[in-house]
């Protein structure tokens, strides 16, 4: 009887061990499948996020480039009260009396008048309905526009003399209301000093006689050489 019980117990032990061996791979396989599924799910969630982040980074980089470009454009326009960037480009006046205007047509206010041979630095150009204009530096803070037909990009000879083309008065100022210093006959040669356009639009030349007398002569009765 004891021998039979021993055999039965041994059989049960072997059965349980065999069952354990047979069932363990199934449990392990199920666990692996769950882990694999979890990894695939997480990956499926992460990939769209990575793609979205990449798209946002690209858009941000493009926006930064656009902002930098706009800043450059704004800087190039400049503030009206701020002088533009310096330039090494030069033009030279080719006529006896050349006017510089506040805008790129002759209808704008005259802000300066320059004699023949004056060298001017230009910082910009503009093609208006009347032709090409240069934006020139009049002083450290003042800029104006000069017509291309009145200047050359190559150096010209500076004016040194004023020749009277008729009998003309040498006056104390650049209008007929000023006192007469003396009357100069036609053909008189004077030392040229500067040019001025008065409020009436008249051109006057500041000049000096051979005797050292300085005054103003009307441009309509004299010319700069």
**Rounded mean pLDDT of 144-160?**
84
User: How does pLDDT run across 117-150, given as a tens digit for each residue?
Assistant: 888 999 999 998 889 999 999 988 999 999 999 9
At 105, give phi and psi (nearest 5°): -150, 160
- Specify whether the CB–CB gap between 184 and 201 falls below 8 A: no
Residue 1 has pLDDT above 60, yes or no: no
Residue 5, token pair as written in the block: 């019980």
Please state, rounded to an integer, the average pLDDT across all residues of the chain: 78
User: Cα–Cα distances in Å, from 156 out to 94, 98, 208?
Assistant: 7, 14, 23
What domains sit in the chain, N to C, each tagged with a CATH number? 90-152 (2.30.30.40), 161-224 (2.30.30.40)
Question: Which one is predicted more confidently, 8 or 111?
Answer: 111
Residue 183, token pair as written in the block: 């009357």
Residue 180's DSSP bridge partners are 171
**Rounded mean pLDDT of 47-56?**
77
Element (H, E) at 192: strand 189-197
Per-residue DSSP letter, 49: H
Strands 119-128 and 90-93: antiparallel
Confidence (pTM): 0.41
Residues 6+ apart with CB under 8 A from 40: none
**Rounded mean pLDDT of 156-163?**
76
Q: Among 7-16, 170-179, 192-201, whose mean pLDDT is lowest?
A: 7-16
Tally the residues of the chain.
Answer: 225
* pLDDT (0 to 100) of residue 5: 47
Residue 217, token pair as written in the block: 């002569």
């Amino acid at each position: 009887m004891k021998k039979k019980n021993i055999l039965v117990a041994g059989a049960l032990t072997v059965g349980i061990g065999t069952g354990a061996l047979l069932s363990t791979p199934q449990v392990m396989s199920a666990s692996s499948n769950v882990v694999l599924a979890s990894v695939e799910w997480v990956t499926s969630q992460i990939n769209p996020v990575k793609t979205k982040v990449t798209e946002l980074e690209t858009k941000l980089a493009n926006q930064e480039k656009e902002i930098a470009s706009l800043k450059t454009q704004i800087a190039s326009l400049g503030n009206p009260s701020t002088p533009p960037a310096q330039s090494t480009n030069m033009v030279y006046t080719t006529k006896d009396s050349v006017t510089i205007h506040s805008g790129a047509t002759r209808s704008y206010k005259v802000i300066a008048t320059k004699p023949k041979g004056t060298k001017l630095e230009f910082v910009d150009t503009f093609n208006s309905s009347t032709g090409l204009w240069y934006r020139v530096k009049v002083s450290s803070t003042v800029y104006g526009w000069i017509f291309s037909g009145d200047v050359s990009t190559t150096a010209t000879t500076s004016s040194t003399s004023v020749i009277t083309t008729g009998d003309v008065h040498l006056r104390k100022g650049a209008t007929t209301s000023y006192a007469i210093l003396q009357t100069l006959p036609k053909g008189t040669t004077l030392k040229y000093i500067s040019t001025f356009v008065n409020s009436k639009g008249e051109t006057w030349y500041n000049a000096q006689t051979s005797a050292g007398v300085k005054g103003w002569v009307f441009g309509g009765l004299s010319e700069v050489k």
